[in-house]
Structure 1
Amino acid sequence: MDISVIIPAYNEEGRIGNVLSVLMGFEMIKEIIVVNDGSVDQTTQEVKKYPVTLIELPFNQGKAAAIKRGLEASSGEWILFLDADLKGLSKEHLISMIEYAKRENIDMVIGTFSKGKFITDLSHKIAPFLSGQRLIRRALLESMPHFEHTRYGIEMMITEYARKMGYQIKKVKWPYVYHIPKEQKRGWIKGKFEKYAMYCNILSTVFEIYFLSRLKRSKKFQKYSS
């Protein structure tokens, strides 16, 4: 089992090192790819301290586009997506995910937060399909249609596609792991704006998946039944 790790990063200086340090010396990890999505801080300099592949995007293109670029550059049989701002991550969390992936007929394992911070725990309890921490068979991702336009809706798009195509999904709890709030990373006003943009991306993806697709199917049905 060989794993390619893809970490999309946008202005994550002071945080991405916490994630990269956990990945060092992990024998099942074939490669680590960080996609710097147009950061204007010291993210690049921090990433260069580690023996990883760094891809620099010239401007911010969104999480989905960064993931797509990382996938194109990767070669692992399995792809591990990790967010760049995780706190509390340990090798034990990764091992728990990998052990499930080794089991027969499991195609995607999603890591969900618990016992960390109230807000992130609650969001993963209500909507675990929004988690960005997931280990996925490469074949699943390569069979997906174009998804780079979804930005922050990428996790929902992958989950819905996997369900639709009959892939087997497993959730595993990651205790004491959480995200740094955007308000803390960017400042209150900019953080709120980025969080609002993120939720708009997610809602747009929900609309595309559950409403536009059903409308298209309905029109096709009317066309062929008339």
Structure 2
Amino acid sequence: MSDRARPRIAVVIPAFNEAGTVADVVRVAQQFTPEVVVASDGSTDDTAAVARAAGATVVELVENGGKGRALGAALAATEAPYVVMLDADLTGLTPAHLERLVQPVLDGTLDMSIGVFEGGGFVTDWGNKLTPHLSGQRAARREWLLAVPHLTDERWPEPAITAHLKATGARWDYIELPSVAQVVKEKKRGFWKGAGARTRMYAQLLTYRARRK
């Protein structure tokens, strides 16, 4: 697909207290597309200011309502027909990774591509491979994402997205993202606070189906 024929794509990045990494993610995303939206989910650090200084359009949510609400706010801030979702704490990311992620959606092969880490580090590789359906790195049509039931109600929206993929019979697949990793919560917050945050995250993620019956 030539650059001239390329449709409008936005990168949307929900972020909560990610001042240390969000600028790097924004700068990489801007090499891929000029339309980068960061939704600061009630951050108490400099996430919003750092993202804005890096060139992103920033939506600031006053209260921390969860990643789902932040994702919804980011989607509302763009009218691009295609979006790439990214976490704000990625390392090793390049524009080539984003091209790899979005291309199957642009050419109509997939309705959603889901990025999984490969070779970025043992901890994040292992966690991503154990629960790849919970990956926050995805590409899809914006209107498809907006149609996901309970998208903005969930603190972590990935299970709601996965449920909608299955319910609609959408075409999806995993796309490897070589050398990409995440800064683990234990490193960002200290071991015990990070471990507690991780436990609460997985409790929310893995109980989605039971809570939505």
Which aligned pairs between 1:1-226 and structure 2 lie closer than 5 A? 1-26=7-32, 29=33, 31-152=35-156, 154-208=157-211, 212=213
> Any conservation in 2 of the 1:100–1:170 contact (CA below 8 Å)?
no
Unaligned runs of 5+ in 2: 1-6
TM-score normalised by the chain length of structure 2: 0.91
SS for the counterpart of 2:60 is: strand
Whole-angstrom CA distance in 2 between matches of 1:125 and 1:184: 20
Percent pairwise identity: 36
Q: Deviations over 1:41-96 (max 9, x none)?
A: 12122112122211111111100110011112220111111000000001111111
Report the number of matched residues. Answer: 207
3-state SS in 2 of match to 1:167? coil
Decide whether the 8 Å contact of 1:3 with 1:76 is kept in 2.
Answer: yes
Mapped contact 1:30–1:76 kept (Cα < 8 A): no
Shift of 1:199: 1.0
**TM-score, normalised by the number of residues in structure 1:** 0.86
Gaps of 5+ in 1: 213-226
Structure showing greater Rg: 1
Counterpart CA distance in 2 for 1:110 and 1:166 is 16
Change over 3 Å in CA distance of 1:138–1:48 after alignment to 2: closer
Indicate if the aligned counterparts of 1:88 and 1:177 stay in contact, CA closer than 8 A.
Answer: yes
Deviations 1:121-168 (A, max 9, x none): 12222221110000011231122223222112x112102211210111
Partner Cα distance (1:102, 1:72) in 2: 21
State how far apart, in whole Å, the 1-side matches of 2:24 and 2:101 are.
19
Structure 1 residue 105, shift from structure 2 partner: 4.1
The answer to whether the Cα contact below 8 Å between 1:113 and 1:178 also exists between their aligned partners in 2 is yes
The one-letter code sitting in structure 1 at the alignment partner of 2:140 is I
Write the distance in 2 (CA, Å) between the matches of 1:30 and 1:142: 22
Alpha carbon RMSD of aligned pairs, Å? Answer: 1.5
Residue 24 of structure 2 aligns to which amino acid in structure 1?
A: N
